[in-house]
Amino acid sequence: AQSVTQLDSQVPVFEEAPVELRCNYSSSVSVYLFWYVQYPNQGLQLLLKYLSGSTLVKGINGFEAEFNKSQTSFHLRKPSVHISDTAEYFCAVSEGNNDMRFGAGTRLTVKP
Amino acid sequence: DAGVIQSPRHEVTEMGQEVTLRCKPISGHDYLFWYRQTMMRGLELLIYFNNNVPIDDSGMPEDRFSAKMPNASFSTLKIQPSEPRDSAVYFCASSLIRWNTEAFFGQGTRLTVV
């Protein structure tokens, strides 16, 4: 079965700095990969997803992620963060068997 | 569509009481999921339905938990009897046709069992 590891539980960063949130997965078959964001007291919403095709995926709010099959990674990046990006970010993987697993989450805190 | 609607948003109950959480998925979505989120265990999939039929309930922690989906527009998650360790935020999510498309989450129900 697939599993997801988010390597950093917390990432503090200053406003306008770049950020990378790391995600590694384990699976023996082809996977679908997702990043979700959770703002305080809200449900999760999709940032971006990789299903097939180009390994560089662009999402909402200026985020992008790159699928690296050899390293089994799907790191999330943004070149310049804003205060409003402060939230919890979840990486998720599905093997297409109608089951999605979420990582433990990374809390991004953007400081002025 | 108003999105996935969960009720109540907050629930405080005493240990031993029955608790029922409710979810209205997005119209036309064939999959419905119940998740539990805690600081210790993160986001856990409890159970999911396809076309109102429970497909995988292996994540349900114990027999005190039960979930139903009597029709395409309504699902419940029941805990009876509730215990303090059940305190968590419970999310309902729905998706269209296949799970590897976007899942839409409700705002969650924050359950506190005292």
pLDDT tens-digit series, residues B69-80: 999 999 999 999
Tell if the CB–CB gap between A46 and B103 is shorter than 8 Å: yes
Q: Which of A12, A19, A25, A14 is nearest to A104 (CA)?
A: A25
Tell if the CB–CB gap between A102 and B43 is shorter than 8 Å: yes
At A51, the pLDDT band (50, 70, 90 cuts) reads confident
Q: Is the sign of the CA dihedral A47, B47, B26, B24 positive or negative?
A: negative
Top mean-pLDDT range of A89-93, B41-45, B97-101: A89-93
Q: What is the pLDDT of residue B109?
A: 97
pLDDT at A97 over 70: no
Say which residue, B18 or A32, is predicted with more confidence. Answer: B18
Tell if the CB–CB gap between B31 and A98 is shorter than 8 Å: yes
| b/e code A14-30 from CB counts within 10 Å (16+ = b) | eeeeebebbbbbebeee
Tokens for B34, please give them: 């119940």
Q: What is the pLDDT of residue A94?
A: 83
pLDDT at A100 over 90: no
Q: How far is A43 from chain B (nearest CA, A)?
A: 4
In chain A, % of residues over pLDDT 90: 71
Q: What is the pLDDT of residue A98?
A: 56
Query: Residue A62's Cα: distance from chain center in Å?
Result: 13
Selecting from B4, B43, B56 the residue whose C-beta is nearest the C-beta of A99 gives: B56
At B56, the pLDDT band (50, 70, 90 cuts) reads confident
Residue B25 DSSP symbol: P
Alpha-helix runs per DSSP H in A1-112: none
Tell if the CB–CB gap between A101 and B42 is shorter than 8 Å: no
Cβ–Cβ under 8 Å, residues A78 and A62: yes
Residue of B nearest to A6 (CA): B42
Neighbouring-strand partners of residue A46: A36
Mean pLDDT along residues B52-63: 91
Query: Residue B101's Cα: distance from chain center in Å?
Result: 19
Residue of A nearest to B96 (CA): A98
Selecting from B43, B98, B108 the residue whose C-beta is nearest the C-beta of A90 gives: B43
At A34, which amino acid appears? F
